[in-house]
Amino acid sequence: MKLSEYHKKRDFKKTAEPKGKIKKSGDAQHFVVQKHEASHLHFDWRLEIDGVLVSWAVPKGPSADPSVKRLAMHVEDHPMDYIDFEGTIPKGQYGGGTVMVWDTGTYMAEGAESVAESKKMLTKMHQEGNIKVVMQGEKLKGSYHLVRMSGKKEEWLLMKGKDEFATKRNFNQNSVLTGRTLPQIAKDKDSDTWESGKKAATTKSGDKNDILENVTKKKASAPSFTADDVAGAKRRKTFPKDWKPQLATLTDAVFDNEDWLFENKYDGYRALIQINKGKVELTSRNGLSFNKKYAPLVDAFGSIKDDMILDGEIVAEDAKGKSHFQWLQDYEENPDRGKLKCYVFDILYFNGYDLTPLPLLQRKRILEALLPKQESIVYSAHTIGKGKKALEKVAKQGGEGLIAKKADSVYHVNKRSKDWLKIKVTNEQEMVIGGYTEPKGTRSGFGALLLGYYEGDTFIYSGKVGTGFNETSLKELHDALKKLEVKTCPFAEKPKEPGVHWVKPQLVAQIKYSEWTAAGSLRHPVFVALRTDKKAKNVVREKPVSKKKVVAKDTETANSFDTEKVPITNPDKVFWPKEGHTKGDVIAYYNAMAEYVLKYVKDRPQSLRRNPDGIKNEGFFQKDMGGKAPKWATTRKLKSLADGESIEYLICNNKETLMYMANLGCIEINPWSSRIGSINNPDYIIFDLDPNEASIKDLVTTAKKVKEILDKLNIKGYLKTSGGKGLHIFIPVKPKYTYDQTRDFSHLISHTVHSALPDITSLERMPKNRVGKIYLDFLQNGKGKTMACAYSLRPRDRATVSTPLDWSELNGKFDIKKYNIKTVPKRVEEKGDLWEGFFEDAVDLKAVLGQLEKA
């Protein structure tokens, strides 16, 4: 292949693009997909074939959905040196604009068993116009097909093959090399192009400069983070010295779920690493200092010059990487036995900013970028979605288990949360020693330990353990127990054991066991070690929560929230007399659908529409929750536009608040279009299509016309039923424009729709002047105005739900009434959230208006 066409189009004295030449292929075939904002935004798909990058321009970019076909225009070959080109091409030059390395990696021909075979197959596939490959990128994975259209020379189709990587999810739109967005690349004043190792992605954003400017220089392959990753961090005036770690809840089974990530469960001591003004403090989960015991780690973390709080686990490993808890305990006496390490899996604080409100994946991205590369300080990696496979791997390696974590969860300081779950290969937990028996035969020290746990102030017997000891541990433990001997039994019910020495219940032992017996005793217990990081009074029986209660989507899980915090009243009260649906059905629906609803209401003021008597009357709106909301609930005071008085709004950021609202009779959930922190800047625009006695056919025609106009502007419109008779179309926008600006944009699009469909649409506000026409209600875009959120129930006949739709569902069989309290949970279980990735598609209104001006 030749590069003459590529060279002919470029003046290399003016553009920083590589001149390049044909290169001999190496041991792998590489690819790059570059996002390119030139005269129009598009993606460049480039495959290494015969020493060059064979290239296609893909206007709408690749999709992971096998049902989506993308046009791909075959363009000139590019040199292999182009594979990491990221930066700006000067105006006036061919392709002038901004280029991002959107994804890169290796690939092979589908069906090839070696790279050599793949290279031969790709040459032939390209000639025949039918390319089938398996991608191994950071974003693009699995099978993709490029097929030349019949009778066309340069027009091809790009499609995702059907495999385990097929999904309807949208891709992250940042650079895989630097983490930057296209605007950030375009604004980089330091150089025209990004070069390997030159800089990390540290574009500044407002008052978060001091977070970003402290990131050290990194290589191209090193992780980095951007201003977007720290946008939700909170400024703190003082260093938080009293924080304790978030704890996980034991679960009964492993599971696969793309919304969860899975980390190794380490067999060691949990520790917070606090670094403040150069001083390092390692503390246990109870606030005890580990500095003296694990001094080498204090020295290792001392290399970090920034203020931060990290969360991790201290372990002692053998040469094969297997941890030994006993070695860790005895480290001061035997510092040469094993390697002392700290696996770090979270960052809570950095240089004056509280990072706990950020989603977990963002925190881990920041952590990986900041953590120093040392043998004793290890970043805890994770896998997403595939818990079963991860647990199999851990079991083969002799590991303890996994910690499953919700990928979008915030960090709950000093709380046990179901956002983190413990999944163990073998059962293991702490027990308190309440006594010991006399030894028999040749055994020294004692025979068995009598174990127990607490329920409140009651100390409950859980059996005895007589294995897992050696001569040294028998002697040391016996010496410690003799000092704690008492005359009376500490257990609530005295165990029927002969020759028992009772002790004060102060020592905590780590115990392995197979299961709990029906009588409440440990079966096949084995002593592991004493623990000094946990108080005896805090030892309770860990009861596995069913993973179905955490990730299930049916309405059978009405009790999986904290009913002590949110007591339920009158669950049998009938809210829909005709259908017989009750208040309890509303609560069960929102409990089952919480993970979907919360995404669209988080951090938004709520206007509570309460229907305490069901749908038999209109109910009433309640905005001011001052002095009415429970103490644990989040509220925010905002000034009323009408009279300037402060109104204390409820903010629904968790399931308990959602359940509280449901128990108040809030059938419908009505959030603002903007969030706390950017309250004057909405992050979506609403098109409310109100039929006002018009036909379903006209409603569908109008919705499709809105989509047609948005498509021309490269804007993705998200469709849902109103839950009544109409349809809603939402556009996610970047929260930097005012309500007036978003309303003006909605008016502009609505006016365009009305001009195209004057006979069936109307912009008239008065219902009597638009009977039989679709009202294009752009006035819903105003500060303080609310709209039923995605998956909200409506106080209407049939208990309908405002349900996200796929545009293909607007067909001859479309029935707006079939989406209700009973059908939607099952629908979501089958189809997932059709609005997944909504906020990642946020558009910049200024750029869109610029397109309109050029049109």
**Residues annotated catalytic, as ranges:** 265
- Of 572, 559, 575, 567, residue with least CA distance to 821: 575
SS3 710: helix
SS3 763: coil
Please give the distance of CA 533 from its chain centroid, rounded to a whole number. 31
∠ Cα 38 42 46 (to 5°): 105
Residues 539 and 401: their CA atoms lie apart, in Å, by 20
Q: Which helix (H) or strand (E) holds 677?
A: none
Residues 446 and 456: their CA atoms lie apart, in Å, by 29
- Of 774, 737, 588, residue with least CA distance to 667: 588
End-to-end CA distance of the chain: 38
Give the bridge partners for 508, in sequence order.
Answer: 432, 531
Residues 568 and 573: their CA atoms lie apart, in Å, by 12
Tokens of 717: 């419109």
Residues 155 and 148: their CA atoms lie apart, in Å, by 6
* Cβ atoms 245, 313 nearer than 8 A: no
- Please give the backbone phi and psi of residue 663, each rounded to the nearest 5 degrees, phi first: -70, -25
- Of 728, 729, 721, 726, residue with least CA distance to 693: 726
Tokens 């800089």 map to which residue?
199
Residues 685 and 554: their CA atoms lie apart, in Å, by 31
Burial class (CB in 10 A: 0-12, 13-18, 19+), 579: middle
* Cβ atoms 430, 534 nearer than 8 A: yes
Residues 783 and 681: their CA atoms lie apart, in Å, by 9
Side chain identity at residue 471, one-letter code: E
* Cβ atoms 122, 54 nearer than 8 A: no
SS3 311: strand
Residues 239 and 281: their CA atoms lie apart, in Å, by 13
Tokens of 531: 């623990």
- Of 353, 846, 284, 849, residue with least CA distance to 534: 284
Residues 824 and 647: their CA atoms lie apart, in Å, by 34
* Cβ atoms 825, 553 nearer than 8 A: yes
Please give the distance of CA 814 from its chain centroid, rounded to a whole number. 33
Burial class (CB in 10 A: 0-12, 13-18, 19+), 264: buried
Tokens of 449: 């330990």
